[in-house]
Structure formats: C-alpha cells, structure tokens
Amino acid sequence: MRGALPRPAQCIKERLRTFMGSFRSTSSGADWLIAGLGNPEPKYDATRHNAGFEALDYLAAQWQCPLNKSKWQGLYGTAQVGEHKVVLLKPLTYMNLSGQSIAPAANFYKIPADHIIVLCDDITQQPGHLRIRPRGSAGGHNGLKSIIASLGTEEFARIRIGIGAKPNPQYDLAAWVLGKLPPEDRKAMTDRYPDIAEACTLLMDGNLQYAQNKFNR
C-alpha cells in the first residue's frame, strides 16, 4: 500500500477536490452581458421589433458563440471577446417582459448594470442609423421599460437600431413595429451589424465616446 493516503487524509482530499470543482463551476463568471430584444415566435421573424434579436444573432455568429443553452427564460451562450468573457442572451419572454430574463442572468453572473449592453429597435431613428447611449430612460420602448423595472436602474448601455418612424400619426404603432421592413430599409439596417459588433467591443473596452462619435449616425 506504498503511497496510499490514510483514510482520513483521503477523505479530506476528496472533499477538497469536490469543493474546488464546485468553486470553479460557480466562479467562472463573465464580465459583460449583451442582450438582444425581440419576440420569439416565427411569425415575428424579420419584423422591425426584432432588430435586437437579429443583431445579437450576428454577434453570436461573428464571435462563434452558439445560443444553444436555455435558462432565465432565454437562450444564451458565452464567448471570449478580447479580454472579456461575454454572455450573449436572447430573452424569450416577449418584448414587454425582457427584464424578467435579463435581470436573473445578470444576477447569476454578478454582472453590474453598467456592464450590460442592450440591443433594441428605435422608431425615432431611420433604418441604418444607430444611437449608442450609456444610460437613460425607456423613451417609450416597452422592452427597455421592463429592463429598467427589473434591474431597478437606468444605468445600462443600449444600442438603439433605427427602424424608421410611422408613416403618419394615425398609423397603429403595434402594426408598424410588428411589420416587416422593405428590402432597401432592411439592407440599410443589416449593413450596420458589423458596426454594432465593433461598438460593443469599444464599449466593453471603455471607449464609449469614441464609439458614439464613430457610429451615432
């Protein structure tokens, strides 16, 4: 039995191994959370309101981060982006309850609100325009309103993706945002996805003003 540990010592060693394994599984953590907003059913695919979903799918593809895990009422994956470990999250709660997915995910990874980036549509911006903000009110966007309520703060970044305003004041807002973009507007929007990816990287690196100066147009 040369080299064998006495039984008490072996038990301690096994307990230590179990403890360390548990510690690694819960402390792997993440630096940032990026969430794309939208509605989950196929009938909402390619609608204006799902601009955030589509942008997040682009990030997932570029960063080789399949969104194939299910938790917090959403689909998610993790990626290493430069020096940052990033959680990409697609809430499946429907737009108006997005915060019920984002807040638990941020809490699990102990990610503070100022390390959350939300990708969402914006009817005040023309297709192809982006607006990057480090914080702010919901501005009438129900998804952002839910996130603010769930996090208890407005101190999270958002990249608002232009989908264009209603053609006239009488046009039903729900019908507009749940409608699909015409081809030229869709191209203007999708052409900005690489800019969104770069903007997210700049935000995570602490270069907010540079990102705003470069991409807020």
The pLDDT, as a whole number, for residue 26 is: 32
The radius of gyration of the chain from alpha carbons, rounded to an integer in Å, stands at 21
Instruction: Give the start-end residues of each E strand in 142-187.
Output: 157-162
Other beta carbons within 10 Å of 9:
10
Q: How far apart are CA 169 and CA 150, in angstroms?
A: 31
Distances (CA, A) of 38 to 16, 33, 68, 186: 44, 16, 17, 16
- Enclosing H/E stretch for 80: strand 74-81
Nearest to 185 by CA among 131, 139, 125, 144: 125
- For 216, counting Cβ atoms within 10 Å of its Cβ (0-12 exposed, 13-18 middle, 19+ buried), the class is middle
Catalytic residue, chosen from 49, 115, 129, 141, is: 49
Nearest to 81 by CA among 190, 196, 205, 209: 205
| Angle, CA 199 vertex, CA 188 and CA 214 arms, to 5° | 75
- Enclosing H/E stretch for 9: helix 7-27
The pLDDT, as a whole number, for residue 29 is: 84
Cβ atoms of 4 and 60 closer than 8 Å = no
At 197, the amino acid letter reads A
Q: How far apart are CA 152 and CA 136, in angstroms?
A: 13
Q: How far apart are CA 6 and CA 10, in angstroms?
A: 6
Judge whether 84 counts as a catalytic residue: no
The pLDDT, as a whole number, for residue 28 is: 54
pTM for the model: 0.86
Q: Where are the domains of the chain?
A: 27-215
The pLDDT, as a whole number, for residue 7 is: 52
Each residue's pLDDT expressed in tens, for the chain with a length of 217 residues: 445 444 544 444 444 343 333 332 333 589 999 999 999 999 999 999 999 999 999 999 999 999 999 999 999 999 999 999 999 999 999 999 999 999 999 999 999 999 999 999 999 999 999 999 999 999 999 999 999 999 999 999 999 999 999 999 999 999 999 999 999 999 999 999 999 999 999 999 999 999 999 999 9
| 27-215: CATH, from 1.10.3720.10, 3.40.50.1470, 3.40.710.10, 3.40.50.720 | 3.40.50.1470
